[in-house]
Amino acid sequence: MYFRRYVDWRVLPLLAMIYAFALIDRINLGAANIAGMGKDLNLNIKGRFSIVTCVYFIPYVLLQLPGNLVLRYFGVRNWITFSVIGWGAVQLGMGFVPTWGYLALCRVLLGACEAAYFPAMVFVISTWYKRHEVQQRLAVFWLISITTSGFSPILAYVFSLLDGKRGIAGWSWIFIIEGAVTLFLGVLSWYYIPDFPDRNKFLTPQQTALVLKRVEEDRGDSLPDPLTREKIVAYLRDWTLWASGLMFMCASMPAYALAYYISIILRGMGYSEATALLLSAPPYGPAILSTMFFSWLSDRHKHRAGYILIQSVICIVGVLLTAFANNHGVRYFGTFVLNAGNVGTIPGVIAYASNNVASQSKRTVQSAMTVLFAGIGGVIASTVYRSQDAPRYIPGLIATMATQGLLIVVLAATHLHFNRMNKLSRAGKLSGPLEGRPGFYYTL
């Protein structure tokens, strides 16, 4: 237990903090818009705010798989440090854009730089642990990230109070300060970011051997296998990888919707600018408890699908309250329920997808395929919450509910498939072992 905790502390905190600022840098448009950016850059004309929000996801989606394919070639430290320094510089530069067109360009560059990070971290974390230890670690990674980023509206409000200092607008200070923090984390990543277990430098040879032995006994892929074009094509033909991505898209859509639009929705309820920004953070509180609880249950019972289903239903209840309740207090409470259900499905889906592949080459493709669909969820979130639907954004909230329904349908399909394949394998009715690994069974 002590040894695993040592690995946890070395692997998870820095990765999570970097991703927290990736989320902050990605979602602070809403707060900056409330703080005056929308007026200064004329973002409320012809859907410009939605355009600026959406263009980020084009390179973010397109570059995730290529980024993971070259991860081992360049090395985790080199590739990730390059990514973090790149998006930190772009984020800082956004504080000085003169027009909305330059802001859109910066958002494209931000998406290009951030694309490599999340799938790489999911891949790296999954290589350090046994299959049924992964979700709690991913949950800790995600919760550190989402909790820190949940304070983004409060930080944005504080930074916006610098309005006029050195002749710089308050919304510009949001980008400048948060970009500077990201650059600092990029420097730290060069010195402290962990590599794959077989390449790590912070464990002794005996400790490294123990890590590799545990993973090898669990799923037989402690060491990398060659990644060839033929393998990539074969993996992309596996429909379950696409299904995992679709589930992750559905899980990510409510998270993006809330991150981008909660302060705007609260403004529509009649709250002042300052109050709307300050009230945007508390809904992330209950999600900490619910996510860790369901992740603990999932790892303890070695079961994923049922707990993802429960959390999706909770999310739907929260969306219903936010969309259709007449009392503003109840609608605000709905955002708490929405988050409590939604946040935990994200590490749940990642763990579910990661548990059901074997070999590092397939994990390379799977982790990128799963995460890139989150970008599609972001595109949906940024387009269905239209300015003409203010202040209640009913069409966007209905679309958010629909994604949860789709998640449940796809989850049921994969669960039934994996259960059937396990039964056939145990009955000796397959031509070979599942995933080519004797003793391997899918996690349900």
Other beta carbons within 10 angstroms of residue 431's beta carbon come to: 4
Distances (CA, A) of 232 to 66, 236, 243, 245, 368: 11, 6, 17, 16, 12
Both structure tokens of 433: 């072992």
pLDDT of residue 59: 92
Contact yes or no for 170/73 (Cβ under 8 A): no
Distance CA(435)–CA(444), nearest Å, equals: 15
3 state SS of 24 = helix
pLDDT of residue 390: 73
DSSP code of residue 281:
S
Distance CA(339)–CA(143), nearest Å, equals: 12
As to burial, measured by CB atoms within 10 angstroms (0-12 exposed, 13-18 middle, 19+ buried), residue 381 is: buried
DSSP string, 231-280: HHHHHHT-HHHHHHHHHHHHHHHHHHHHHHHHHHHHHHTT--HHHHHHTT
Averaged pLDDT of the chain? 88
Both structure tokens of 55: 């263009």
Distance CA(308)–CA(408), nearest Å, equals: 8
Mean pLDDT within 186-204: 89
83-124: pLDDT as tens digits: 999 999 999 999 999 999 999 999 999 999 999 898 898 888
pLDDT at 329 over 60: yes
Distance CA(251)–CA(22), nearest Å, equals: 18
Distance CA(184)–CA(200), nearest Å, equals: 23
Higher pLDDT, 424 or 256: 424
Higher pLDDT, 432 or 27: 432
Contact yes or no for 117/59 (Cβ under 8 A): no
119-137: pLDDT as tens digits: 898 888 888 888 888 888 8
Other beta carbons within 10 angstroms of residue 282's beta carbon come to: 14
pLDDT of residue 424: 95
Mean pLDDT within 280-291: 85
3 state SS of 345 = helix
| Dihedral angle sign, alpha carbons of residues 361, 364, 370, 372 | negative
pLDDT of residue 38: 85
Distance CA(327)–CA(344), nearest Å, equals: 27
Both structure tokens of 301: 């019972």
Rounding to the nearest 10 degrees, give the CA dihedral for residues 82, 85, 90, 91.
140
346-369: pLDDT as tens digits: 999 999 999 999 888 999 899 988
Contact yes or no for 228/360 (Cβ under 8 A): no
pLDDT at 3 over 70: no
Both structure tokens of 209: 């051997």
Q: Find tokens 């889906």 and name the residue.
A: 349
DSSP code of residue 228:
-
Structural domains of the chain ordered from first start? 11-195 (1.20.1250.20), 227-443 (1.20.1250.20)
pLDDT tier, 219 (very low <50, low <70, confident <90, very high otherwise): confident
Distance CA(191)–CA(76), nearest Å, equals: 12
pLDDT of residue 2: 60
Both structure tokens of 61: 């989606």
Mean pLDDT within 235-255: 94
